[in-house]
Structure 1
């Protein structure tokens, strides 16, 4: 096939382009800006556009398909030309489904944990030499690409994002995959710019359940009341498989998972990750991996990029970075770190970067999210608020939202960095949570907090 990508530089889009190139398809693309690591990775395969911008002349009748990224707007010149010529236009998830119709589709959904669960499944499969296709939202050790598509593999494991598919397709991505096997890890309101109420957001998961093929399997977190409610009240003819937080203990900073063969040390920690592990186990068992083989493999899983990723450590202190940004993710991450390091001072720095987190109508959802931190810090960049065209929030609104009088609030990167430097010392756990970059602070500078 000859396939053109409109907005090829996105995280998911460039990985799909690389996967199709590796599969032997002819791939071209355009974008108005491409940043690292997408830029270098596309260039290495000869897929980086020669010039940035949109060029309708690239859209010709010999193209078999257009893949449209979420970054491209409805009035994109290349998109308009493709519509004029009648070329088939796919959103990202629509194309993934088209490529996997003859496979067993395993789709991992949920407001939190889906990247980690998908990563755990892929780690186990890779450990045991089981080749599967996949789509995952984070770089994994041992994997060159975040997307793999083949003609021959039986399974495809898909991280099922609930955000919109494209400018032309406003359905949540995970509505398009029609899973044979599905998982829901939890439901906590997110994406307020798309789903204005919690009920509207929760409804998207009800639709996801309805999209499971008849006779399929739904693995679900029965510890989550919202998930449990949806699953128990659906009349969809599917097999329902609940999972719960497994038994564990912590000894000298080491998490031990209780298994039928005894206590097993694992690399990841936190109740949210242990719950994720329980869900991944059921999925793997439905993909042909028995329980003992799952435990053997998962013992060596160290996590996905930016999911409680350890970026620095010495004899007395440690630094983690995490993608946590929604209230439920922040709460779970801070609790996990404090439980793992009860005798260390936890300095938790959260950047408010997403549309939802910077919205005054949503900010109250963060109440108590940083309660387990010994020193809670919130940063939001004034420039980000302006770019997103949102009403600025005051520091007082942030204090009230989080419910901590000792909270430190910063709106510019330099004062934030200076304050962090003033807190350097021994016996500290530094936890940096963000989907952004703290207004441009270099991660290498943050790593120096333990020097």
Structure 2
């Protein structure tokens, strides 16, 4: 069936972050979109409701497929025994994972895939910002809400390229291979490799192998852009195919002004940017190399970059006064924790840094994985780790002992909280003069209102 023949798409687990964005993109493209989910939270709920796509009730209803949609897209939130999925299989309705459907819709485009354990959202975001700034036609799929973009997915007929943030997690409950293997890139990027998703990739070697496969999938006359400072990346990006263009990148040349602003050194003029931190300076170099490959070079890239404010939840400033800054960041993996906390301390060395990390993912709450955090939380002056015991129960994992957690981090000075209100009370009791706060999580600190917290701290 050609892509033009898709008139009705049914989405199983429509409430997911990227899935509901795909649903909205397809709906706005003129397709009929239906879907189901057993739980839908904000902002997905409100956005689906506004476009008339919110399911009337939560749950799974095979009868929704009795009209035989042209295709079913199944999200990772669904289980292999999902009643709607079983119905689609039994009645031979075409089934796609998210990455398979993105590929299906972009077979005739140049596909740029940004992969890696960290940095991929920021690199993708910079590329999209630069393309938009220069009025280029492009499609995209990115894992964060970006300023100036109403959706996280865009699919059109006319765009000649698509930029995809390539997640290494599994494609679907019935297709247990990484998403990055399903996009079939022409230009690939690997930003860094740091073991994650221990529930799926039980060893570092197994995890690293997924990126090796991605590298080997680079086609003839394709381009592989990689972080040459990362030993794990170097191990999989050995230039062993003369038909592939290998491009290594490193930290962009720069200086930090006394005001805390970062300035890039270029061949022409210095360029003041709104990002900071060594990890972001590498992300900029990666994005610059990608943009060069698609015809946006030198000063045109820097001109656009100067107006880029960053991706949501990636070192996002949520509060500020003359002596205090409050940031939140999606950091949760060891490499992200290290890079983010180091960046903020280096940018404002004269201020005390209080940093809070929530352990929320399966890997971060796993006793066997916790030693990976050893030595990654050294930069802050005050180090706090929070976890919600209910999250462990929900994931059917054994309880965590704060003593074991401190031992895994290799730091007895870490303060451990399991009550988010107690954590909030502690933070509000602080005198915040000449102090910065960094809140890091892929969760929400047990539904703590971080914006209200930042507002209260910076109002004092």
Same-fold call, TM > 0.5? yes
Q: Does 1:314 align with 2:321?
A: yes
Counterpart Cα distance in 2 of 1:424 and 1:362: 35
The CA deviation at 1:59 is 0.6
Listed one character per residue, the Cα deviations across residues 149-198 of structure 1 (whole Å, up to 9, x for unaligned) are 00010000000000001111001000000101110001010001100000
Q: Does 1:357 align with 2:364?
A: yes
The CA deviation at 1:62 is 3.3
Counterpart Cα distance in 1 of 2:202 and 2:175: 18
What is the match of residue 68 of structure 2?
62
Counterpart Cα distance in 1 of 2:364 and 2:176: 22
RMSD: 1.1
What is the match of residue 112 of structure 1?
118
The CA deviation at 1:450 is 2.2
For residue 244 of structure 2, the aligned residue among 232, 238, 253 is 238
Counterpart Cα distance in 1 of 2:177 and 2:185: 16
The residue correspondences of 1:124-203 to structure 2 (distance < 5 A) are 124-203=130-209
What is the match of residue 458 of structure 2?
450
What is the match of residue 93 of structure 1?
99
SS in 1 for 2:171: coil
What is the match of residue 330 of structure 1?
337
SS in 2 for 1:183: strand
Give TM-score scaled by structure 1 length. Answer: 0.98
Counterpart Cα distance in 2 of 1:369 and 1:144: 35
SS in 2 for 1:14: helix
What is the match of residue 216 of structure 1?
222
Gaps of 5+ in 2: 1-6
The CA deviation at 1:203 is 0.1
Q: Which runs of 4+ in 1 moved over 2 A?
A: 233-237
What is the match of residue 432 of structure 2?
425
What is the match of residue 231 of structure 2?
225
The CA deviation at 1:134 is 0.0
Aligned residues: 451
Please say if residues 162 and 172 of structure 1, whose CA atoms lie closer than 8 Å, have aligned partners that are also in contact: yes
The CA deviation at 1:404 is 2.2
Counterpart Cα distance in 2 of 1:307 and 1:93: 23
SS in 1 for 2:22: helix
Please say if residues 112 and 163 of structure 2, whose CA atoms lie closer than 8 Å, have aligned partners that are also in contact: yes
Please say if residues 61 and 87 of structure 1, whose CA atoms lie closer than 8 Å, have aligned partners that are also in contact: no
Please say if residues 210 and 236 of structure 1, whose CA atoms lie closer than 8 Å, have aligned partners that are also in contact: no
Please identify, of 155-164 and 434-443, the stretch whose mean Cα deviation from structure 2 is larger: 434-443
Counterpart Cα distance in 1 of 2:188 and 2:272: 28
Counterpart Cα distance in 2 of 1:440 and 1:424: 24
What is the match of residue 388 of structure 1?
395
Please say if residues 112 and 186 of structure 2, whose CA atoms lie closer than 8 Å, have aligned partners that are also in contact: yes
The CA deviation at 1:445 is 3.1
SS in 1 for 2:263: strand
The CA deviation at 1:236 is 7.1
Listed one character per residue, the Cα deviations across residues 370-406 of structure 1 (whole Å, up to 9, x for unaligned) are 1010100000111111111112121111111222222
Gaps of 5+ in 1: none
What is the match of residue 397 of structure 1?
404
For residue 375 of structure 1, the aligned residue among 372, 382, 386 is 382
What is the match of residue 108 of structure 2?
102
SS in 2 for 1:440: coil
Listed one character per residue, the Cα deviations across residues 12-64 of structure 1 (whole Å, up to 9, x for unaligned) are 10001111111111111111111100011111111111111111110125311
SS in 2 for 1:399: helix
The residue correspondences of 1:278-289 to structure 2 (distance < 5 A) are 278-289=285-296
SS in 2 for 1:188: coil
